[in-house]
Amino acid sequence: MAKYLIIGGVAGGATAAARLRRLDETAQIVLLERGDYISYANCGLPYYAGGVIKERSKLFVMTPERFKATLAVEVRTGHEARSIDPAAKTVTVLDRKNGETYAEKYDALVLSPGAEPLRPPIPGIDDEAVFTLRSVPDIDAIKEHIDARRPERAVVIGAGFIGLEMAENLRERGVFVTIVEALDQVMGPIDPEMAAIVHQHIKAKGVELYLSDSVTAFERRDGRLVVRLKSGKALPCDMVILSIGVRPESKLAKEAGLELDARGAILVDSGMRTSDPSIYAVGDAVACASPLTGKPGTVPLAGPANKEARIAADNIARASGGAATGSVGYSGSIGSSIAKVFDLSVACTGLSEKVCARDKIAHDAVIVHPSSHAGYYPEAKPFSLKVVFDPASGKLLGAQAVGYEGVDKRIDVIAAFLSMGAGVEALTRFEHAYAPPFASAKDPVNYAGFVAENIRAGLTSQVRWNEVADYKAKGAFVLDVRTPEEFALGHIEGAANISNTELRSRLAEVPRDRFVLLYCGVGIRGYLAERILRQKGWSELANLAGGWKTYEAAAGVQSNEGIYRPGLAHIARARLEPVAYAEGSGMPEALAARSTQMIEVDACGLQCPGPIMRLKSEMDRAAPGSTLKVRATDPGFARDAEAWCRLTGNDLVGIDEEKGIYEATIQKSAAPSFARAANPATLGKEATLIVFSDDFDRALASFVIANGAAASGKSVTMFFTFWGLSVVKKHKAPKVGKDFMGRMFGAMLPKDASGLSLSKMNFGGIGAAMMKSRMKAKKIDQLESMMRSALAAGVRMTACQMSMDIMGVSREELMEGVEIGGVASYLDAASGANLNLFI
C-alpha cells in the first residue's frame, strides 16, 4: 500500500488528495495543514468582509470531517510540516495543539504550501491596524476591526486584484477608501490605457487614488494611524490593507535542497515533479515554464493550482501502478485572470504589450471599443478589448478586456485560441452564439481580429495614444473625423475637424506634405477616413488605436488625490467638482431643499450628441431651480454633461455610474446663461453663422454646427445672405409678383432647400440624391429636419434684407420663423459671440 503525504490543505493540496483517492483506493493519504481549515474559498474572503457573502460557513467548501468521510483522507489540521528528509522520505511534523513533533514517512510527497503576502520591514508595519489577507483568520481579524471599530478611512496599499477587491468591499461597508499604488497604474498585468478605464471607474465610485507613490512608514498620531508616503504626504486613517504581492512559501523545499528559481519558487517539470523524483509541487509556490515565453514563472491563481494538483496526482498514481488519465503533462499557465472592480470586470490572458516590450518580443496590438451586445437592444454596455499579437506570423500573444458584461466569455474564448497557438485570423472566423441580448452578429472578438488582419494586410496603420505627442512634435496634421458636436466637447489639442462624412468633399484641406494622424471616437470612422485618404493617394498617415476614447482615458489625469474630507466618510456619490457640504452632516447638502421639480430623463441607447440634445431640450422646458436626472449609456456622456454644464452655467450636482449607466444630476440655473444680454459675462455664449452659399453640403454643415452650438447653450444666429437665401425659402412658396431681374434670379436659383446641389461631384443632381440616400441609410437627419430642429432649439434665422432686395426674394417666400434683418442685427449678435463662421 502506497503512502501519499500532502503539505497544504487548500486549493492545490485538497485537490491533489481528492484526485489521488479517486485513482488509488488502497493508498494511505495524509493531508497536513498548519491552519484550522482546509479547502476554503480564499477567493471569496474579500466578499465576506464586505458583507456580500453573509454567512461565514459559506467560505468552507469542505470540512476536515466531510473530507475524511467522503474520501478517507486523514486530515490533520494544526499540523505543520517543519522539515523534509528526501533521502529517508520523511517529513518532520509539529502538532501545534500539543507542541509535539513526529516523523511521517511517504512514498510520494506533494507540496502545496502556497504563497505568503509580502510584509517588507517598513517602520510601524506591526501596528494592529495594518492587515494582510490570505487566510480565514486574516479575514476574521479584518471583519472584526470593521464591525467593532467602524473605521472611517481605510488605506489600501497595492492595487492588484486583492487590493481592489478589498477596496470595493470596504466601500460597500461605508468606509472611505484611499488606494496607494507604487506603479503608475492599477492591475499590473494589463496595459496602462486599459487600466486607465479602471481608474476612471474607481474614481467615479468615490475612491481616492494615489499612483506612483509608496509607503515609507506607519505612525500613530492622536490615536489615528498615519500612512507616510514617499512623496511626503501623510494619510491619517483607521486601518490599512497591505496587498503588495506574494512570495512563494518555499522555505521547506529550499532546506530540503530542492531546486528553486531566482524568485525562490520551486522549479517543477511538466509532470509537476521537483528536482527530487518522489516530491511533487503545485500551486502558488511553484514555477512552471510559460507556454508563451518558455521561461519559468509563478502564476499565483486558483485555476492553475487546481489543474497542477490533478496532474501531479495522476503522475503519482501512474508511478505507483494506480489508474490515471492519459494527460499527465502540464503545458503551463498563460495567466488568464479576471477580477470584479466595483461594476467593472477586468480580465486578461497571455502577455501584455508592456511585458512584450520588456522581454523584447516582437508584437503589435489592437484596441476596440464595441458594445457588450447589440446596441439596439436595451442596456448595451461599453466594452473595451485589446489583443496583442505577433505582427509577422499573426500569432496571438495575449488579450485584455474591461467592461460591464461579457468580459469573461471574450477573454475565455481568446485564452482558448491562445493556448492552442492560434493566430488573429482565428478570431475573425470565430463563430459565437449570437442573439441581441448577448452579443452582436460581429462579436468584439471578431472585431479585434478584423482590425489586426487589416493591419497585417497593410490596409491601415496605427499610432498609439502615447505616441501622439511625438507625432505632433514632428509636425503631423492631426485630423479629428468626428462630428463638430463631438469635437466641441473635447479633442486633441491642435487637431483640425473634418467629419468623415464630409472628408471626400474637403480633401483639399488635408495636407499632402505632412503626416496625417487621424482619429475618431473609437477607431472605426478614423479607419474609414484613412481608407478614403489612402485610396486618394495619401501614404503617410495612420489611425489612432482605440480613438479618442482610449486617448482621453489614458492621456488624462489618472489619480484623484486629496478628495478625502474627514467627517464625510459616507458620501455615496462621486463628485467632479468640489462642492459645499453641510458641516457634520456626512452627506452633501440636501438637493431637494433647493429644487422645485425632479425630472428624470432616459437617454439610454442614444449616441453622442443625442444625450446632450435631449438634456438641452428637457432643460429648456424645466423651471429654474429644477433638478434633472439624465441617464445615458453613452460613455462620453459623463464628460459631455460636465462640459455642457460649464458652457451653460447650469449646476452639475454629481455624476454617478452604475453598471455602465451614467446618471448626471443637474440643477437648472436660476438665470439661464443663454439669455442674450449686453453683458461681458455673456461674452462667448453666442455664436453667429453667415450662410452665404447655397451648396447642399455647406448648408448641411452650417446646420450641424448651429444645432451643436444651440445644444451647448449658445444663443445662435444664422444670417442668410445672397445665395444662402435659397436655403431658407419655403417649400411650395406662394406665387408673388416680381420684376424682370427677380424673375430671372427666381428661374436660375434653387426653389428651396430640397433643390440645392452639392459643391462637388453633383453630377446634375445625382450626387446630392446619393448624399440624401446615404444620410437616410445612416439615420442622419435630412437638411429640412435639421432646420426644424434649429428653429425648435431657438436658433435665430435672419434673412439679409439687402440680399433679398437684390435677388428679388420676397418675405412670403421665406420659411416660417425666419426673421428679416440688416447688417446691424448681425453685428449685434456677433458682438457677444466668440464663434463667427462664414459658410
Contact residues toward ligand FAD (CB under 6 A) are 7-13, 32-35, 42-43, 45-46, 80-81, 112-114, 133-134, 162, 249, 252, 283-285, 300-303, 305
C-alpha distances in angstroms, 606 versus 30, 359, 396, 634, 786? 62, 43, 35, 7, 17
Residue number, 133 or 833, with CB nearest to ligand FAD? 133
At position 582, the amino acid (one-letter code) is: A
Q: Least Å distance between CB 384 and ligand FAD?
A: 21
Instruction: Sort 156 into a burial class: Cβ within 10 Å, 0-12 / 13-18 / 19+.
Output: buried
Q: Which 3-state string (H, E, C) describes 774-816?
A: HHHHCCCCCHHHHHHHHHHCCCEEEEEHHHHHHHCCCHHHECC
Please tell me what DSSP assigns to residue 733.
Answer: P
Distance CA 4, CA 717 (A): 87
The CB-side HSE value for 561 (13 A sphere, CA atoms) comes to: 12
- Cα distance between residue 92 and residue 81, in whole Å: 6
Residue with the CB atom nearest ligand FAD in the bound state: 283
- Cell reading at 581: 457640504
Other beta carbons within 10 angstroms of residue 610's beta carbon come to 16
Other C-beta atoms lying within 10 Å of the C-beta of residue 793 = 18
Give 321: exposed, middle or buried? Use CB within 10 Å, 0-12, 13-18, 19+. exposed
Residue 8's CB: how many other CB atoms inside 10 A?
Answer: 30
Amino acid at 341: V
Q: Among candidates 528, 515, 524, which has minimal Cα distance to 549?
A: 524
Q: Find out whether 23 and 310 touch, Cβ atoms under 8 Å.
A: no
d(CA 801, CA 814) in angstroms, rounded, equals 12
Name which of 15 and 500 has its Cβ closer to ligand FAD: 15
Output the CA–CA distances (angstroms, integers) from residue 675 to 649, 670, 683, 830, in the order listed. Answer: 11, 11, 11, 15
CB of 75 to ligand FAD, least distance (A): 11
Looking only at the bridges linking them, the beta strands covering 108-111 and 115-117 are unpaired
Please give the DSSP secondary-structure letter assigned to residue 371.
Answer: B
The smaller minimum CB distance to ligand FAD, of residues 300 and 382, is found at 300
Q: Which is nearer to ligand FAD, 249 or 657 (CB)?
A: 249
Instruction: Select 27 or 109, whichever has its Cβ closest to ligand FAD.
Output: 109
Quick count: other Cβ atoms within 10 Å of Cβ 600? 11
Q: So which residues are the catalytic ones?
A: 43
Least distance (Å) from ligand FAD to the CB of residue 354?
Answer: 21
* Cα–Cα distance measured from residue 742 to residue 806, given in angstroms and rounded to the nearest whole number: 8
CB of 282 to ligand FAD, least distance (A): 6
The dihedral built from the CA positions of residue 241, 244, 249 and 251, taken in this order, carries a sign that is: negative
